[in-house]
Amino acid sequence: MYRKEVNAQSPLRILDESIHGGLGKGNLGVVMARAGVGKTACLVQIGLDDLMRDRSVLHLALEQTVEHVHSWYDALFDDLVYRTGLDDPEQVRATIARKRLIYSFADHDLWPERLEKTVEMFKKHLDFQPSAILVDGYDWSNHSVAENAAMIGAFKAYAKMLGAELWMSAQTHRTGTGEHPDRVPPPCDPYFDLIDVVIFLEPHGDDVAVRLLKDHGDAEPHDTHLHLHPDKLRLVVENDEEHPRRTHEDSAAQALRLPTSSYTLLSGAAEGAETQFGECAETWGLMELNFSFAGREVERSRGLVQLTEEELAEGDVSSVYLEAHMHRRYPDTPLFRKTLQSIWHQVNTAKQVFSVGTILPDNTVKGGTGWAVELARIWHKPVHVYDQDRKGWFIWQGDEWVAEDPPVIPVRRFTGTGTRDLSSDGREAIRSLFERSFGSPAR
pLDDT at residue 250 tops 50: no
| Cα–Cα nearest to 58, from 1, 114, 2, 15 | 114
| Cα–Cα nearest to 401, from 390, 415, 416, 409 | 390
| Cα–Cα nearest to 49, from 71, 89, 16 | 16
pLDDT at residue 319 tops 90: no
pLDDT band at 369 (very low <50, low <70, confident <90, very high): confident
Residue 196, class by beta-carbon neighbours within 10 Å (0-12 exposed, 13-18 middle, 19+ buried)? buried
> What is the secondary structure of 266-323 as a DSSP string?
EE---TTHHHHHHHHHHHHT-EEEEEE-TT---S--TTEEE--HHHHHTT---HHHHH
pLDDT at residue 243 tops 90: no
Confidence at residue 249, expressed as pLDDT on a 0 to 100 scale: 39
CATH entry, 256-438, from 3.40.50.1000, 3.40.50.450, 3.40.50.1970, 3.40.50.10490:
3.40.50.450
Amino acid, single-letter form, for residue 278: G
Mean pLDDT value of segment 19-31? 86
pLDDT band at 434 (very low <50, low <70, confident <90, very high): very high
- Segment among 149-163, 170-184, 280-294, 379-393 with least mean pLDDT: 170-184
pLDDT at residue 113 tops 70: yes
Cβ partners under 8 Å of residue 119, min gap 6: 58, 129, 130, 133, 158, 162
Amino acid, single-letter form, for residue 432: S
pLDDT band at 4 (very low <50, low <70, confident <90, very high): low
Mean pLDDT value of segment 386-405? 95
β-partners of residue 356 are 386, 418
Confidence at residue 385, expressed as pLDDT on a 0 to 100 scale: 98
pLDDT at residue 254 tops 50: no
β-partners of residue 177 are none
pLDDT band at 388 (very low <50, low <70, confident <90, very high): very high
pLDDT at residue 237 tops 70: no
pLDDT at residue 238 tops 60: no
Mean pLDDT value of segment 199-227? 83
* Rounded Cα gap, residues 326 and 372, in angstroms: 11
For residue range 46-93, list pLDDT tens digits in order. Answer: 999 999 989 999 999 998 888 888 888 988 888 888 777 888 889 999
For residue range 299-309, list pLDDT tens digits in order. Answer: 999 999 999 99
Neighbours of 101 (CB within 10 A): 18
By 3-state DSSP, what share of the chain in percent is helix, strand and coil, each rounded to 5?
A: 40, 20, 40
Query: Would you call 211 helix, strand, or coil by DSSP?
Result: strand
Computed over every residue of the chain, the mean pLDDT equals: 87
Mean pLDDT value of segment 340-352? 92
Q: Where are the domains of the chain?
A: 3-245, 256-438
Evaluate whether 3-245 and 256-438 have a shared fold: yes
pLDDT at residue 181 tops 80: yes
Confidence at residue 11, expressed as pLDDT on a 0 to 100 scale: 64
* Rounded Cα gap, residues 327 and 321, in angstroms: 10
- Domain 3-245: CATH class, spelled out: alpha beta
Residues, the chain, total?
Answer: 443
Query: Would you call 258 helix, strand, or coil by DSSP?
Result: coil
- Decide: 427 and 418 in contact? Cβ < 8 Å: no
Cis peptide, bond prior to residue 382, ω within 30 of zero = no
For residue range 268-291, list pLDDT tens digits in order. Answer: 999 999 999 999 999 999 989 999
Confidence at residue 241, expressed as pLDDT on a 0 to 100 scale: 47
pLDDT at residue 262 tops 60: yes
* Rounded Cα gap, residues 179 and 202, in angstroms: 8
Cβ partners under 8 Å of residue 409, min gap 6: 251, 255, 263, 352, 354, 433, 434, 437, 438
Kindly report whether the global pTM for this prediction surpasses the value 0.85.
Answer: no
Report the b/e string of 346-361 with b at 16+ CB within 10 A.
Answer: bbbbbbbbbbbbbbee
pLDDT band at 17 (very low <50, low <70, confident <90, very high): low
- Decide: 219 and 200 in contact? Cβ < 8 Å: no
